[in-house]
Structure 1
Amino acid sequence: MTAEGVPAAVPKLDAQHLMLEVNRTTGAGLEYVGPAAGGEVGAAFVRWPDGRDAVLTRGHGSLDELRRTASALDAARSHGLPVPQYQLLAELADYVGVVQERLPGSPPDKADRALLESMIAMTEQFTGLGAGLPVPSMHLLESGPGFCLHESLQRYDDRTRRLLRWIHEVGRAEPDGMTGDDLVHLDYHTGNVLTDADEITGIVDWDGIGRGDRHFALVTLRFDAHVRLPGANLTWFDELLETTLSPEVLRLYWAHMSLRQVDWSIRHHTPADTTHWLDFAESRTH
């Protein structure tokens, strides 16, 4: 049973209210179209007065940080990556409203090995594109901003406390963070790509952008594959991780994803989901 005092869930986006706030602050004249499919917190489709379709989200970070993200995405797009343009950043009372280009395609109906391999291949285009961005924290020794919360694991049960102790051990070891100059998408999973006729037409949700190691995306995607392809033989993917990443780096990235998924499941899903993620996390903690 979940212990008392576990941190609260992240609130869902009230997109229509956000749109009204953006319109009031900027005079953008956006029209609400409807909710965007997928996502844990939410995004919505909106339309500019000239008929262009766009996506509205609540930005995480300051206005300056989101401007830096916008510039990094412009650079990535100039190198051929299918990423959205940030069309408007609206500084509101408690956060920044982000209006971004709506890319072609839609979230894939199903995940399979072909999609995973296409996504893995696309990460090679992240090489060297992280200049000017901060290196993301792994949050192994202290809680992250709204995710990777240690308090959830500390207060839930003995099993999550044991996992948290392992995460702390990894955080005190070397390496304790990413290195490199690649573009990093911290939430690179099958729900954050768009496809059309089996071709990837977009990579979205760049709130977790940073500079570091493009191969971090492989570990994020492996966690996603555990859910999206239940029962599939993913030995080939595990072997890819082990041949691409050193044991120490794989351990670091695994600890981060374990913390992220277990914390999120505690606060947003069911005890069965938490057990599911604990089982998977512990497959590489020994």
Structure 2
Amino acid sequence: MGTENAAGTFPRVQRLDAAQMLAAVREITGIKLVVSGALEGGQVGAARVRWPDDGHESVLKWRPDFTVGAMRAGPVAALEALRARGYPGPATELVVQVGTAVVTVQELLPGNTIDVLDEQQFDQVLALNAKHVGALAGRPDVPCNVMYLRHDGPGYCLHEPLRRFSARTAELDRRIRAVGDASDERLQGFDVVHQDFHPGNMLTLGGDVTGVVDWDGAGRGDAGFDLVTLRFAVHLAGAERRVVERLDALLDALPEDVLRVAWAHMSLRMTDWAIRHFPSYEVGTWVDLAAERL
């Protein structure tokens, strides 16, 4: 328990092999995309690719253990609903099934990821989050995001690492499961939920937010979930103090059932991820944050 790094016991998530994915895409579609560069950030990986016809660049991503049908019905549909509202999200240019994974190619948006979220940018981020609200009205066909409070998620939100890592994480898992037993496993609603709404997925130029990327987990639910995700993302660093204070005040105003379920999900997601991917001394920071509202 509490080993230097638990990844040897609990496997890390597999990262994108861009060359292998492009070879498969070429065989399936005949499209000869080529890798033009790497993209920093993210745990699963992404790559810049160039199209053979006009040479424009795009972003290659993949999602293991998923289908094209599910990708189009969930993440792509959610993103397109926002783009119809003028939201700065990338256009989806290609979706291909490669074995048990889905490969997507999306528009390369201008800008750089945010290192420290300041108040001016935060105001813009809140305006973007407001566009999520009601964007899927009348769209029950878009699936609600699952919270995985009682059972494992697909490669993330795993419960076993928490049960085995330490007494504190085992107790946290018990509390998370208790929330799941008393709640719906899906946050209901007709808002778009990005699912990974944090500064590393937000782009800026000259202080203005120019886009939001990484929509692979998007679906339907309550837009308040993304504010909880943002709060976890800026826990250790990444935002001015005043931004964190304002964000906490917004969370205080969320409906209790939304906040409780979203906080339990993010507590599970970040603690499990830390156990499997980060040095073990970092795990306690996520348990501490989880305890603030769970």
* Partner of residue 24 from structure 1, selected from 18, 27, 33: 27
Structure 2 vs 1, CA of residues 71 and 177 (structure 1 numbering), >3 Å: closer, same or farther? closer
Where structure 2 has 5 or more consecutive residues not aligned to the other structure, the ranges are none
Instruction: Tell me the residue number matched to 2:249.
Output: 239
Distance 1:269 1:216 in 2: 24
Instruction: Tell me the residue number matched to 1:11.
Output: 14
Instruction: Tell me the residue number matched to 2:121.
Output: 115
* Partner of residue 38 from structure 2, selected from 24, 35, 38: 35
Instruction: Tell me the residue number matched to 2:61.
Output: 57
Instruction: Tell me the residue number matched to 2:272.
Output: 263
Q: After superposition, where does 1:126-275 map in structure 2 within 5 Å?
A: 126-130=132-136, 131=139, 132-174=141-183, 176-229=185-238, 232-233=241-242, 234-243=244-253, 245-275=254-284
Q: Displacement, 1:129?
A: 1.8
The aligned length equals 284
SS at 1:54 equivalent: strand
TM-score (normalizing by structure 1) = 0.93
SS at 2:42 equivalent: coil
| Cα-to-partner distance string for 1:83-129 (whole Å, 9 max, x where unaligned) | 11111112212312111111122212432233233212211101222
Structure 2 vs 1, CA of residues 83 and 231 (structure 1 numbering), >3 Å: closer, same or farther? closer
Residues 32 and 47 in structure 1, CA contact (< 8 A), matched pair in contact too: yes
Residues 149 and 264 in structure 2, CA contact (< 8 A), matched pair in contact too: yes
Residues 118 and 239 in structure 2, CA contact (< 8 A), matched pair in contact too: no
SS at 1:99 equivalent: strand
Distance 2:30 2:184 in 1: 48
- Give the aligned residue type for 1:156: F
Distance 1:65 1:133 in 2: 9
Residues 224 and 258 in structure 2, CA contact (< 8 A), matched pair in contact too: no
Distance 1:114 1:195 in 2: 11
Distance 1:236 1:88 in 2: 38
Residue 288 of structure 2 is aligned to residue 279 of structure 1: yes
SS at 1:228 equivalent: coil
Q: Which moved more, 1:6-15 or 1:226-235?
A: 226-235
Give 4+ residue runs of structure 1 displaced > 6 Å after superposition: none
Identical-pair percentage: 42
Residue 111 of structure 2 is aligned to residue 105 of structure 1: yes
Distance 1:178 1:194 in 2: 27
Q: Which moved more, 1:71-80 or 1:43-52?
A: 71-80
- Give the aligned residue type for 2:25: V
Where structure 1 has 5 or more consecutive residues not aligned to the other structure, the ranges are none
Residues 222 and 258 in structure 2, CA contact (< 8 A), matched pair in contact too: no
Q: Which moved more, 1:55-64 or 1:157-166?
A: 55-64
Distance 1:189 1:72 in 2: 17
Distance 1:231 1:90 in 2: 40
SS at 1:91 equivalent: strand
The structure, 1 or 2, with the larger RCO (C-alpha pairs under 8 Å, 6+ apart) is 2
TM-score (normalizing by structure 2) = 0.91
Structure 2 vs 1, CA of residues 100 and 4 (structure 1 numbering), >3 Å: closer, same or farther? closer
Residues 86 and 98 in structure 1, CA contact (< 8 A), matched pair in contact too: yes
Q: Displacement, 1:236?
A: 2.5
